[in-house]
Amino acid sequence: MRFKATYLSLIILVFLILTIIITEKSFNNKKKDLFLFPKLNLQDISKITIINKDNNKVIMEKKTGKWLVVSSLNYAGDKSKIEDMLKKVKKFSMKNKVSVNPAKKSFYGFDKDYLTVNIYNVKDKELASFFIGKNGPDFYSTYIQKKGSSEVILINEYLKSIFDKESIDWRNHTIFNFNPQEVKEITMNKEGKEIVISLNKDEEFEIIKPERSPAKNEIIRSILDDLSNFNANSFYLEKDLKVCNLEKPLSFIRLVFKNGLEKELLIGAENKNNQYYVKKKDDPTVFLVSKYRIINDLFRELKDLESKNTLKKP
């Protein structure tokens, strides 16, 4: 009797396990069926095109593992921004279907002023294609429609802020990216007034020009932290480079690293939008950076950099 009871318990246990597996598999399949593009594999994506209401086209392609903005002089793309966008597409759900009536096309914004998004693999095979229409009932939702379908789906997110960008906005805005702990010297030349700050043997910064004096290490570290992940507000794409005044820059910031490498930020003229034209030395790209960030975050007055502490004797 005890053997029969054990055998029966084993059968019940196996039955319960199979039931759980089948139920979970069925649930996952139903969940998968809710995706607008259930077969979309992010690793297969190699090209993206976004066409706006004015028929302007943004083209981005992945080449040798890196995203390039083809429609903006093949400039390096913002990897995180592009991949975040694709992850959202992957998660598009069909659960909020609001219409299948083609006559309501204009009501949902698919007759004009809509975006067309196409996603391809390396062989230019279309993996996903959809339209982005009007905002939903509130500002934080958007109507979309899969290409070739009459179904209108409501996505609970304001998608135009993500997809409706110019080619330049998909560029990588990074100017500098380095470890601030590796900097041993910084030269700040503001319109000819030069301050040189160097790391001493005690790993403390001190001012060595215009004259030797102790420095406020927390201020220097703050400047280096800002520079170590320094991004542009935008780019200057016009052909007239004379207005930038970067051939003979008004100001510059030079960094010398412990390994002997150098980085230099050239700062030119100010435009009418309170932005400075800046570029890296030996790099043709001209960036635009707000005046506030240049003047307040980077350049400081000598009196603000000097510490009241006494320098140790060398």
pLDDT tens digit sequence for 104-146: 989 999 988 899 999 999 999 999 999 999 999 988 999 999 9
| Token couple for 92 | 């598009």
Residue 285 is classified by DSSP as: P
What is the overall mean pLDDT for the chain? 89
Provide the residue type at 12 as one letter: I
**Confidence at residue 310, expressed as pLDDT on a 0 to 100 scale:** 60
**Confidence at residue 307, expressed as pLDDT on a 0 to 100 scale:** 86
Tell me how far apart the alpha carbons of residues 232 and 251 are, in angstroms, rounded to a whole number. Answer: 17
With contact defined as beta carbons under 8 Å apart, do 117 and 36 qualify?
no
**Domain parsing of the chain, residue ranges:** 42-170, 174-305
pTM recorded for the entire structure: 0.79
**Confidence at residue 20, expressed as pLDDT on a 0 to 100 scale:** 57
Region 275-297 average pLDDT: 95
Topology given in CATH for the domain delimited by 42-170: Immunoglobulin-like (2.60.40)
How many residues are recorded in the chain? Answer: 314
Ramachandran angles phi, psi of 284, nearest 5°: -75, -20
What's the distance, Cα to Cα, between the start and end of the chain in Å? Answer: 93
With contact defined as beta carbons under 8 Å apart, do 187 and 253 qualify?
yes
pLDDT band at 10 (very low <50, low <70, confident <90, very high): low
Whether the per-residue pLDDT at 276 is higher than 60: the answer is yes
Tell me how far apart the alpha carbons of residues 276 and 137 are, in angstroms, rounded to a whole number. Answer: 41
**Confidence at residue 311, expressed as pLDDT on a 0 to 100 scale:** 54
**Confidence at residue 53, expressed as pLDDT on a 0 to 100 scale:** 84
